[in-house]
Structure 1
């Protein structure tokens, strides 16, 4: 492989207007609305759940799609969640956004050993 080939593979992810591109941590994301003093801490919304697969792919019970992640936002570009947007709060915590980019109360948290539903 010549120097031109090496340069292609060592190029960092390109930055878009919102910031550098990234991939979301793989795994199952369970979604919920906040609870109240009279209910559970979180009110599950299983119809919002999704699983991040390899690369920029995700799946739901209704099918598969792709996403684009730049800066701190994730845009579902194809598939059953097409048009949905999320803000990355941390590596395991996403907050759903409105079409105007405002945060909603819906939160999606990556399942790990200590937060099984």
Structure 2
């Protein structure tokens, strides 16, 4: 079957034009808000304390260290997380399935699947430089 060179050339030009037009366009919105990353460093997780002590009850099994971009380490196992808007979801590794709301820089509060805050909080206790 013989192809018409004009059609092929026209399709190639259309693809090139579409690619160059989209290169300067802003990225489409992401469901949940803009994508971000957490501050590098170690996050200590705890339950709130009571009036008898200065600190909450530390939960070493949930402590993690953000090592780069969207990766963390917990218990020697590397995992990944997704941070969109004010939500952080552990998507791989030891803490897979945990969800947090970022309250402020270095302060996360665990949330359930419906977005309701739970007791556990994780706080940046040392930064990586």
What range is the shorter-chain TM-score in? 0.7 to 0.9
- SS of the equivalent of 2:113 reads coil
100, 103, 113: which one aligns with 1:99: 113
**Could you tell me how far apart the structure 2 residues matched to 1:109 and 1:48 are?**
11
Runs of 4+ aligned residues of structure 1 deviating over 4 Å after TM superposition are none
Q: Which has the larger radius of gyration?
A: 2
SS across alignment from 1:47: helix
1:62, CA displacement in angstroms?
4.5
Shift of 1:39: 3.5
> Which residue of structure 2 lines up, in the alignment, with residue 70 of structure 1?
84
RMSD between superposed Cα atoms in Å = 2.2
5+ long unaligned stretches in structure 1: none
How far apart, CA to CA, are the structure 2 residues paired with 1:15 and 1:91?
23
TM-score (normalised: structure 2): 0.73
What corresponds to 2:41 in structure 1? 27
How many residues end up aligned between the 2 structures?
Answer: 107
Separation (CA, whole Å) in 2 of partners of 1:112 and 1:62 = 17
**1:108 aligned residue:** 122
Asked if the contact 1:15/1:21 (under 8 Å) is kept, the reply is: no
For 1:16, the equivalent position in structure 2 comes to: 30
Cα separation, 1, equivalents of 2:96 and 2:115: 15
Aligned equivalent of 1:45, options 41, 46, 59: 59
